[in-house]
């Protein structure tokens, strides 16, 4: 994406760095996230329009705390420092010192705008902002103009008198700062002069051209799971290379009801993509027999998938040089984060992890600069059906991690039938678009019940439904009682072997979205 206008975000380890990027993209401006050791010359070679310095959990005075090159401030573009980013600038630019705040600020504060400035265009005199800091900048007024302040922070927003640098001590990227998106848009449009013309259609055109140029007539293999990411990759690569794309769908026996049929209908029958469906359910269930530990389940499923896919790929290797994978931008960011905080935890959920090296393929990752909501937007632009584009996240190990205890065919049947009812009823109620995930969990518990004139001793199903923006945190969804009653009634009456249904009212944290 080298020809796009670029705003560079330098990540100092903030839990909100990805959120900054999302807000920039929402303003139709292209951005990328860089580590603090990025060289100014690397940015200078790009069509750079501005730089944003993120927050971070460290104190600038801690040994080993992250710093960027002082040369970043010599780039001929405006720079915005957020919280820790402002504090780093205060030290590197001079004219400011960083001191412990008299009272640490974590939470809402009232910001008073002191001076008119393009950064605060359209702002009232007072507005709410979200603070999260223990240190603060004390600026030399000969070097900095004070644009805004709070009762505990006289330099809540500043502008350098000689350099094109702005700094804010609050977090404009979070929704707790109601006018934060406007501030960032002001910085992008009014300060940096960005056109705001980054659109998904142009991204698709560029990605198609890059894939064509990279593959140079070679065949491309794609591991298609039926999830949003792999489906969008398949549709995008097919647009670029046509019949040179071969998709492999592995039926591991742990899929939701109708998943295999949907994949065949969408990709083989409607889009005429070359699709190979590998029936491997027996192989997976045999490997999982008697295993109840969730981590062992995940490892067994991951290793078995690699073995199955590798066996199939070897039958197809003639003329195949590339493997297409649905890596997203958050995975790229997390895999290279160096300064702690939530963003430093690396996800290892990709089913095809390690395959390029094992099979000698070169990797194509056309979604590696996109967030999940952007991938869904791309899917719509590519004409994928709403039922596929809007489907909820589904774990790589499938139903195995929603079936607590050993994975057995009969218990999988119970869970699959119950899960279908949960999905049908929530979608019929029109609530599926506002929920992040909704599914059934089969517990390793049997309880006494009464059906007709007899007593039963059957399984318990838990229903899980959560609301979230990005899956990092989640709140349990307040589903209507009538909807829950309908779900419970259908499961107990239609799924043989279940006599009790519960509803999970746990948020993340402290719980996780999945049960295993």
Of 248, 224, 252, 234, nearest in space to 398 by CA: 252
Cα distance between residue 498 and residue 449, in whole Å:
9
Longest Cα–Cα distance in the chain = 87
Residue 334's Cβ-count burial label (10 Å; 0-12, 13-18, 19+) is: middle
Q: Active-site residue among 5, 31, 32, 83? A: 83
Which pLDDT does position 341 carry in this prediction? 39
Write the Ramachandran bin of 315: left for phi over 0, alpha for psi from -120 to 50, otherwise beta.
Answer: alpha
For the question of residue 171 being annotated catalytic, the response is yes
Which pLDDT does position 93 carry in this prediction? 85
Assess contact for 170 and 156: CB atoms under 8 A. yes
Which pLDDT does position 354 carry in this prediction? 53
Strands 144-150 and 153-160: what pairing? antiparallel
User: Which helix (H) or strand (E) is 138 found in, with range?
Assistant: strand 126-139
Which pLDDT does position 405 carry in this prediction? 94
pLDDT mean values, one per 10 residues, the chain (516 residues): 82 88 92 94 95 89 88 96 91 70 69 94 94 66 87 88 93 91 97 92 91 93 90 96 95 92 94 94 95 93 90 81 87 59 38 57 90 90 91 87 94 96 96 92 90 80 90 87 97 94 93 89
- Dihedrals phi, psi of 111, to nearest 5 degrees: -100, 130
CA distances from 379 to 262, 335, 435 (A): 16, 25, 19
For the question of residue 83 being annotated catalytic, the response is yes
Write the Ramachandran bin of 471: left for phi over 0, alpha for psi from -120 to 50, otherwise beta.
Answer: left
Q: Active-site residue among 173, 420, 425, 516? A: 173
Q: Active-site residue among 171, 194, 238, 420? A: 171
Which pLDDT does position 345 carry in this prediction? 37
Of 251, 328, 257, 448, nearest in space to 18 by CA: 328
Cα distance between residue 411 and residue 399, in whole Å:
10
- SS3 call for 30: coil
Start-to-end Cα distance in the chain: 38
For the question of residue 173 being annotated catalytic, the response is yes
């Amino acid at each position: 994406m080298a020809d796009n206008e670029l705003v560079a975000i330098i990540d100092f380890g903030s839990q909100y760095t990805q959120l900054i990027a999302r807000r920039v993209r929402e303003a139709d401006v292209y951005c990328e996230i860089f580590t603090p050791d990025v060289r100014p010359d690397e940015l200078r070679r790009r069509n750079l329009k501005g730089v944003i310095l993120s927050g971070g959990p460290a104190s600038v005075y801690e040994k080993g705390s992250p710093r960027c090159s002082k040369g970043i401030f010599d780039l001929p573009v405006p720079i915005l420092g957020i919280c820790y980013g402002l504090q780093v600038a205060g030290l590197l630019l001079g004219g400011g010192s960083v001191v412990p705040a008299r009272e640490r600020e974590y939470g809402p504060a009232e910001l008073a705008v002191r001076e008119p400035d393009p950064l605060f265009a359209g702002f009232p005199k007072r507005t709410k902002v979200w603070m999260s800091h223990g240190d603060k900048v004390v600026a030399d007024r000969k070097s900095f103009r004070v644009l805004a302040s709070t009762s505990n922070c006289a330099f809540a927003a500043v502008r350098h008198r000689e350099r094109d640098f702005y700094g804010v001590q609050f977090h404009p990227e979070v929704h707790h700062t109601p006018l934060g998106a406007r501030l960032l848009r002001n910085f992008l449009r009014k300060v940096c002069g960005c056109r705001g013309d980054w659109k998904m259609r142009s991204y698709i055109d560029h990605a198609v051209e890059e894939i064509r140029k990279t593959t140079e007539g070679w065949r491309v293999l794609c591991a298609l799971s039926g999830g949003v990411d792999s489906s969008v990759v398949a549709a995008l690569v097919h647009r670029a290379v046509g019949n040179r794309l071969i998709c492999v769908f592995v039926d591991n026996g742990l899929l939701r009801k109708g998943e295999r049929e949907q994949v065949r209908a969408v990709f083989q029958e409607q889009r005429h993509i070359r699709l190979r469906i590998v029936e491997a359910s027996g192989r997976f269930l045999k490997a999982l027999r008697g295993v109840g530990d969730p981590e062992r389940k995940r490892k067994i499923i991951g290793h078995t998938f690699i073995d199955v896919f590798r066996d199939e790929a070897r039958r197809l290797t003639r003329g195949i040089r590339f493997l297409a994978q649905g890596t997203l931008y958050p995975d790229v960011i997390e895999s290279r984060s160096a300064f702690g905080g939530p963003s430093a935890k690396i996800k290892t959920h990709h089913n095809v992890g390690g395959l390029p090296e094992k099979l000698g393929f070169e990797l194509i990752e056309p979604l590696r600069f996109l967030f999940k909501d952007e991938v869904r937007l791309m899917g719509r632009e590519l004409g994928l059906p709403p039922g596929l584009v809007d489907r909820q996240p589904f774990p790589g190990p499938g139903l195995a991690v929603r079936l607590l205890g050993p994975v057995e065919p009969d218990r999988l049947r119970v869970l699959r039938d119950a899960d279908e009812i949960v999905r049908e009823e929530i979608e019929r109620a029109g609530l599926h678009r506002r929920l992040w995930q909704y599914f059934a969990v089969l517990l390793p518990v049997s309880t006494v019940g009464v059906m007709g004139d007899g007593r039963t001793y059957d399984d318990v199903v838990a229903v899980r439904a959560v609301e979230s923006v990005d899956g990092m945190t989640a709140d349990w969804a307040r589903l209507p009682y009538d909807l829950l009653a309908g779900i419970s009634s259908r499961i107990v009456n239609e799924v043989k072997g279940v006599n009790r249904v519960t509803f999970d009212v746990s948020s993340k944290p402290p719980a996780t979205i999945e049960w295993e």
